[in-house]
Amino acid sequence: MEKGMEHDAGQSIAFRPIGYVENDAEEMATPEEIAGRRSRIRIEERYRAGLLGIEECERLVIVFHFDRVKEARMQLHPRDDPSRPLRGVFATRTQYRPNPIGVTVARLVGVEEGALLVEGLDALNGTPVLDIKPFSPAFDDPNGA
């Protein structure tokens, strides 16, 4: 490792939510069931100025905290289905991660006073939202995969 590039593996990093998910998904379900619902992302007042121009975005990358997940699993069967091959956590989309962060691309349906209406967000009601970015094919899907 280069000089000055040392890392403290026990380092703590803190984030503050910029808003919260509002929908009728109260408990874990398949991602498809949750994502099929329309959600509202209520943005905290102090961050609402950051929504300027967002209505021009067709899709958004939503970064959120799996706040109800209390364990990490380094290996698991995807969707807890034993018929699926065992995988390492980093080869899955599971919520049972060392840092319980979710990332989903959602379609922007509308903008209300201090809130975004989206479809395709697989997050439960009350989930803290950490960041929102416009989906950009150049950054998020550079090879059109």
C-alpha dihedral sign at 30, 31, 37, 41: positive
State residue 11's pLDDT score.
84
CA distance 102 to 68: 12
| All residues at 6 or more sequence positions from 137 whose CB lies less than 8 Å from its CB, including other chains | 144
Q: pLDDT digits over 41-69, tens only?
A: 999 999 999 999 999 999 999 999 999 99
Domains annotated for the chain, with CATH where assigned, are 19-69+97-135 (2.40.30.70)
Q: What angle do CA 45, 40, 78 make, to 5 degrees?
A: 120
Q: pLDDT digits over 12-43, tens only?
A: 889 999 999 999 887 777 766 766 789 999 99
pTM comes to 0.87
Q: Is it the case that residue 83 has pLDDT exceeding 50?
A: yes
State residue 142's pLDDT score.
73
Pairwise pLDDT comparison (6 vs 67), residue with the higher score: 67
Q: pLDDT digits over 87-115, tens only?
A: 999 999 899 999 999 999 999 999 999 99
State residue 35's pLDDT score.
64
**How large is the average pLDDT for residues 81-91?**
95
CA distance 76 to 86: 5
